[in-house]
């Protein structure tokens, strides 16, 4: 008897419905948890996602074959009931619940348990089997409340302004950037966004998300006019000629990886703010416990340490080998810190 969801060379597959979830190769029908590049890949004949993600997925995949549903509304395919539920990771991110003949599986996609007011609060879903990410599945990862982090960021920005500097904060363009912007105190100065960030801001605003006013960064701008302002751009832009030739700029990164010793130095930034769109160690454990699932399949992240720890807690925990790569941020290599 095949399992309700299985994994093959294309992705996580529901054979009864002939549906893939976040496939890494083109398929006939792809249900997609969110628009990050490792979960929403091009080439499939049909995509189904949640309403809040539709325009962003269309934009990123340059696709028109994208259908969507509201959160919580089920769609039945060959007797299998699928529904999307908030994952709290980024704008439009969803968990996918799959039910067939009384058996329930949930695919988490990426998730975060702290509510950032943009991504929808993570919804705990009861299920028999939970497929969980564990990007930050080591006990060393413990996030501060976001208010604390945003206070630090705004203080840093204000100090730079007083010193006659430009502030630069690297954040990946979909998700982290909008979260950073939502925590910025816009009374300090203007917020400039790299094209990749501003394109997403515009789509999100058109979809009704409240993102405060920002300006599109134009590299023709007189750099002096940026003094006191703050630039939000993807990590790669930090090495551009435009930024590396800029005088009086203070560089920062907002990432969960900043929690690791040496990460700030390796990224060559002046400041590291620990701000992640993923659950930390305790967030993962509380989310898993809330599902009341006995079987846990773990994907991307510290799968070895994390699955072993879950086994010690009494779960039937296994590793699911997927091709998810992490959110367009470079993964940092660290020695397993043990549990
Ligand atoms: Zn992911
Ligand atoms: Zn993601």
C-alpha 75 – ligand 1 centre gap (Å): 24
Band the pLDDT of 16: cuts 50, 70, 90. very high
The rounded Å distance from CA 328 to ligand 1 centre is: 9
Confidence check: pLDDT of 338 > 70 = no
**Burial bucket for residue 82 (CB in 10 Å: 0-12, 13-18, 19+):** buried
Burial class (CB in 10 A: 0-12, 13-18, 19+), 246: middle
pLDDT for the residue numbered 333: 33
Centre of ligand 1 from the C-alpha of residue 97, in Å: 17
Rounded to the nearest angstrom, the distance between the alpha carbon of 90 and the centre of ligand 1 is: 11
Instruction: State the number of CA atoms in the 13 A half-sphere of 254 facing the CB.
Output: 32
Domains (range + CATH), the chain: 6-140+277-319 (3.60.15.10), 146-273 (3.40.50.10890)
pLDDT of residue 327: 58
> 190: CA distance to ligand 2 center in Å?
28
Q: Select from 117, 109, 85, 84 the least CA-distant residue to 34.
A: 109
Which numbered ligand comes closest to the C-alpha of 56? 2
- Under the banding of pLDDT at 50, 70 and 90, the label for residue 326 is low
Closest CA to 282 of 86, 145, 157, 171: 145
Mean pLDDT, the chain, rounded, equals 93
Which ligand is closest to the CA of 277, given by its number? 2
> Half-sphere exposure of residue 288, counting CA atoms within 13 Å on the CB side?
27
pLDDT in tens, 264-281: 777 788 999 999 999 999
Neighbours of 155 (CB within 10 A): 12
- What average pLDDT does the segment 99-114 reach? 97
Q: How far is the CA of 110 from the centre of ligand 1 (A)?
A: 5
- Cα 214 to its chain centre, rounded Å, is 21
Which ligand is located closest to the Cα atom of residue 132?
A: 1
Kindly give the distance from the C-alpha atom of residue 327 to the centroid of ligand 2, in angstroms, as a whole number.
5
Whole-number Å distance, alpha carbon 108 to ligand 1 midpoint, is: 10
Q: How far is the CA of 110 from the centre of ligand 2 (A)?
A: 5
- Mean pLDDT of the region 3-32: 97
CA–centroid distance, residue 135 to ligand 1 (Å): 8
Place of tokens 């690791």: 260
- Mean pLDDT over 205-210 rounds to 95
> Which ligand places an atom closest to the C-alpha of 174?
2
Tell me the ligand closest to 93's alpha carbon: 2
Look at residue 330 and tell me whether its pLDDT is greater than 60. Answer: no
Interhelix angle 195-206/176-183, nearest 10 degrees: 80
First to last CA, the chain: 36
Ligand 2 centroid – CA 248 distance (Å)? 33
Residues of the chain with pLDDT > 90: what percent?
84
Residue labelled with tokens 């416990």 = 289
Residue 324 vs residue 191, higher pLDDT: 191
Give CA angle at 201 (200, 202), nearest 5°: 90
Residues 18-68: pLDDT tens digits?
999 999 999 999 999 999 999 999 999 999 999 999 999 999 999 999 999
107-122: average pLDDT: 96
Closest ligand to the CA of 323? 1
Q: How far is the CA of 21 from the centre of ligand 1 (A)?
A: 13
User: Which bound ligand lies closest to the C-alpha atom of 90?
Assistant: 2
C-alpha angle 20/101/3, rounded to 5°? 45
Rounded to the nearest whole angstrom, what is the distance from the C-alpha of residue 327 to the centroid of ligand 1?
Answer: 6
Separation of CA 38 and ligand 1 centre (Å): 6
Q: Could you tell me what percent of the chain has a pLDDT over 70?
A: 96
Q: What is the pLDDT of residue 300?
A: 86
How far apart (Å, rounded) are the C-alpha atoms in residues 44 and 65? 9
Distance (Å, whole) CA 50 – CA 296: 24
Cα–Cα distance for residue pair 237/214, rounded to 1 Å? 18
Residue-level pLDDT at 267: 79
Q: How far is the CA of 224 from the centre of ligand 1 (A)?
A: 38
pLDDT digits (tens, 9 = 90+) for 124-176: 999 999 999 999 999 999 999 999 999 999 999 999 999 999 999 999 999 99
Tell how far the Cα of 145 is from the centroid of ligand 2, in angstroms: 20
What pLDDT score was predicted for residue 159? 98
């Amino acid at each position: 008897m095949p399992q309700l969801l299985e994994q093959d060379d294309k992705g996580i597959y529901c054979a009864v419905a002939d549906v893939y979830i976040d496939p890494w190769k083109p398929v006939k029908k792809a249900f997609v948890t969110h628009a990050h590049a490792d979960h929403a890949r091009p080439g499939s004949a049909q995509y189904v996602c949640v309403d809040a993600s539709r325009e962003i997925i269309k934009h990123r995949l340059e696709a028109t074959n994208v259908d969507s549903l509201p959160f919580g509304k089920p769609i039945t395919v060959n007797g299998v009931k699928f529904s999307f539920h908030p994952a709290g990771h980024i704008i439009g991110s969803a968990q996918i619940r799959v039910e067939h003949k009384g058996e329930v599986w949930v695919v988490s996609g990426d998730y975060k348990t702290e509510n950032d007011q943009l991504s929808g609060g993570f919804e705990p879903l009861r299920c028999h089997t939970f497929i969980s990410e564990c990007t930050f599945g080591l006990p060393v990862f413990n996030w501060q409340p976001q208010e604390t982090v945003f206070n630090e960021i705004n203080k840093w920005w204000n100090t730079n302004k007083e010193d006659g500097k430009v502030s630069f904060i690297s954040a990946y363009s979909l998700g982290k950037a909008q979260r950073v912007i939502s925590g910025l105190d816009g009374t300090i100065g203007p917020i400039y966004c790299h094209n990749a960030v501003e394109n997403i801001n515009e789509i999100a605003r058109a979809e009704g998300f409240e993102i405060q006013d920002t300006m599109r960064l134009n590299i023709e701008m007189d750099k002096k006019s940026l003094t006191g302002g703050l630039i939000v751009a993807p990590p790669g832009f930090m090495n551009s000629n435009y930024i590396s030739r800029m005088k009086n700029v203070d560089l920062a990164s907002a990432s969960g990886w900043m929690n690791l010793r040496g990460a700030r130095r390796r990224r060559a930034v002046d400041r590291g703010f620990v701000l992640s769109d993923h659950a930390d160690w305790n967030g993962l454990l509380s989310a898993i416990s809330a599902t009341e699932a006995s079987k846990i399949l773990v994907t991307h992240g510290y799968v070895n340490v994390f699955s072993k720890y879950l086994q010690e807690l009494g779960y039937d925990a296994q590793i699911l080998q997927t091709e998810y790569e992490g959110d367009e941020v470079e993964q940092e290599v660290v020695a397993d810190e043990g549990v």
